[in-house]
Amino acid sequence: ETGVTQTPRHLVMGMTNKKSLKCEQHLGHNAMYWYKQSAKKPLELMFVYSLEERVENNSVPSRFSPECPNSSHLFLHLHTLQPEDSALYLCASSPSDSLSSETQYFGPGTRLLVL
Amino acid sequence: GQQLNQSPQSMFIQEGEDVSMNCTSSSIFNTWLWYKQDPGEGPVLLIALYKAGELTSNGRLTAQFGITRKDSFLNISASIPSDVGIYFCAGQSSGTYKYIFGTGTRLKVLA
C-alpha cells in the first residue's frame, strides 16, 4: 500500500471523448505530480501542484487539463486526445511544499489507450 | 537540458548472483531516489539518498550517492526471482520540484 491511489486503473477512449483521471493521496503530503510513462522512454513530468497551486507545467498540450481541488486530490481531465497519448499515467506525491529534497511516492497508474 | 544515463539497460542473471547498476548525470543533484516497477504498476520507492557519499541499505539492496553528486549506484545482493522488474533512478536538483528519471534497468533473474 503506497498511500497513493488512482482510478480508473485502465481506460479506453476515443479521440472525441472526454474523460478524467483521479488521484488521491492518503499521506498528508503537500505536493502532487502527474507523469506520463511511454514504452522505452523515461518518465515525463507533466504537472506539479504544491498546496493546490500549479508550480510546474512541463509544456503539456492543452488537451490535458489538471485540477487540484485540495492537497489530497488531483485530477487530469482529458479531451480530444491522440493515439500517441496512449501511455501509463502516474500520479505521485511528496511531503513538502518547499523546494527541498523530498521523496516521491507513486500511485499504481492508469493505463490509457486512445483509439 | 539535464540527462540521466542509466546502465545497463537490461540484465539477465542467475538466482543468487549480485547485481550492480548505476546512473550518471550531466549536472549535480542533491537527491537521488531508486525505484522498482513491476509490470502494470507504479514505481515503488526502494531507497532515498540525500547527501554526497551517503551509503544506505534496505535489506539486500544498497545504494550510494556519488561523491561528485553526479552519479549513484544500486547493488542487489543474492538476487531472488522476485527481484525481477525495472529499476529506475531519479535525481532532483536544488530549487526545483522536478525529478529527472533514468530510462531504467530491466532485470531478469533465472532460477
The tens digit of pLDDT for each residue in B62-106 reads 999 999 999 999 999 999 999 999 999 999 887 777 889 999 999
| Closest Cα in chain B to A94 | B97
A103 CA to chain B: closest CA distance, Å? 7
Say whether pLDDT at B1 is over 60: no
User: Are B44 and A2 a contacting pair at CB < 8 A?
Assistant: yes
Q: Which of B43, B95, B97 lies nearest to residue A31, judging by beta carbons? A: B97
User: Are A106 and B102 a contacting pair at CB < 8 A?
Assistant: no
Q: Which amino acid is at B23?
A: C
Say whether pLDDT at A97 is over 60: no
Write out pLDDT tens, residues B34-48: 999 998 889 999 999
Say whether pLDDT at B19 is over 70: yes
Q: Which residue has the cell 548525470?
A: B25
Q: Percent of chain B having pLDDT more than 70? A: 98
Q: Which residue has the cell 525529478?
A: B99
Say whether pLDDT at B51 is over 80: yes
Q: How far is CA B6 from CA A42, B30, B100, B105, in A?
A: 10, 17, 11, 7
A43, A48, A58: which to substitute to probe chain B, counting the most B Cβ within 10 Å? A43
User: Are B97 and A33 a contacting pair at CB < 8 A?
Assistant: yes
Q: Which amino acid is at A59?
A: S
Separation of alpha carbons B30 and B95, rounded Å: 10
Write out pLDDT tens, residues A28-59: 999 999 999 998 788 899 999 988 888 877 78
**3-class SS of residue B39:** coil
Q: What is the pLDDT of residue B97?
A: 76
B18 CA to chain A: closest CA distance, Å? 25
Q: What is the pLDDT of residue B98?
A: 81
| Closest Cα in chain A to B96 | A99
Q: Is B98's Cβ below 8 Å from some Cβ in A?
A: yes
Lowest mean pLDDT among A17-21, A57-61, A89-93, B105-109: A57-61
Q: What is the pLDDT of residue B10?
A: 95
Pairing outcome for strands A110-114 and A10-13: parallel
Q: Where are the beta strands (DSSP E) in B1-111?
A: 4-7, 10-14, 19-25, 31-37, 44-49, 55-58, 61-65, 71-76, 85-92, 99-101, 105-110
Q: Is B45's Cβ below 8 Å from some Cβ in A?
A: yes
User: Are B43 and A111 a contacting pair at CB < 8 A?
Assistant: no
